[in-house]
């Protein structure tokens, strides 16, 4: 969800205003996903590298996530949204850790839309932690397969992403779903995240629908 800061700067506003606008937009995008029949949405909210940002900005992002849970959880639950957390909660403030845990537990049986919130998440870190758990479980090297590794990832039991959207014109993967996105289609748009509305999402889906997905073969797969 790139471009919050640049969106704010273009309007002469502080960066926090951009993050708040981006959070407001998330509500609209989630509703659009439900309308379009999307079953799994993963949002990259805070990376393991984001800890290098100014302290005040980190605190603001933590506060925004807490406010989102407080204000939106009831409606998300009513709408049948299941919340999941991708990443390690250990560096989050304890109060926020507990709110994330409660939100995940409360919505765990909802099936209309799964929303993965990648917060304190990094693709490389995820793979390293998966390897450590495999070793800790004493699994012999010859028994390690792709299917086994997938069971140790945060996204265990979920399909790999079909489409990864990058807003604000960036063309980097930025440590996002490195394993899961191996065959995902990528879509980059110059639109800043706060302006990435329902119609922008529709454009991305139409563009995706025109791709031929071969997964390394010569025959396109639907």
**H or E stretch including 104?**
helix 94-106
Active site residue 120: no
Edge-to-edge strand ranges of the sheet holding 113-121? 40-47, 113-121, 81-86
Structure tokens at 172: 């980097």
Handedness of CA 164, 113, 96, 9 (dihedral sign): positive
Active site residue 50: yes
> Which residues 6+ apart lie within 8 Å of 5 measured at CB?
15, 18, 19
**Of 4, 25, 50, 160, which residue is the catalytic one?**
50
**How far, in Å, CA of 213 to CA of 54, rounded?**
41
**Of 2, 4, 25, 116, which residue is the catalytic one?**
2
> Which residues 6+ apart lie within 8 Å of 37 measured at CB?
none
CA distances, 196 to each of 43, 215, 219 (Å): 13, 28, 33
Q: How many CB atoms lie within 10 A of CB 199?
A: 9
Q: Any idea which residues carry the catalytic annotation? A: 2, 50
């Amino acid at each position: 969800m790139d471009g919050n800061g640049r969106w704010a700067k273009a309007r002469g506003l502080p960066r926090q205003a951009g993050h708040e606008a981006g959070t407001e937009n998330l509500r609209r995008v989630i509703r659009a996903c439900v309308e379009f029949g999307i079953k799994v949405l993963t949002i990259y909210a805070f990376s393991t590298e984001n800890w290098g940002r100014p302290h005040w900005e980190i605190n603001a992002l933590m506060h925004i996530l807490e406010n989102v849970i407080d204000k939106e959880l009831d409606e998300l639950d009513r709408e049948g949204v299941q919340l999941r957390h991708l990443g390690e909660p250990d560096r989050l403030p304890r109060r926020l850790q507990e709110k994330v845990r409660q939100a995940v537990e409360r919505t765990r049986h909802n099936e209309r839309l799964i929303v993965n919130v990648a917060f304190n998440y990094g693709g490389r870190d995820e793979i390293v932690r998966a390897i450590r758990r495999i070793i800790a479980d004493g699994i012999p090297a010859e028994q390690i397969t792709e299917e086994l590794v997938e069971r140790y990832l945060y996204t265990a039991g979920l399909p790999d992403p079909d489409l990864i959207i990058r807003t604000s014109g960036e063309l980097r993967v930025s440590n996002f779903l490195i394993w899961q996105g191996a065959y995902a289609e990528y879509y980059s748009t110059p639109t800043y995240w706060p302006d990435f509305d329902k119609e922008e999402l529709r454009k991305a889906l139409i563009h995706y629908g025109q791709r031929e997905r071969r997964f390394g073969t010569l025959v396109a797969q639907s």
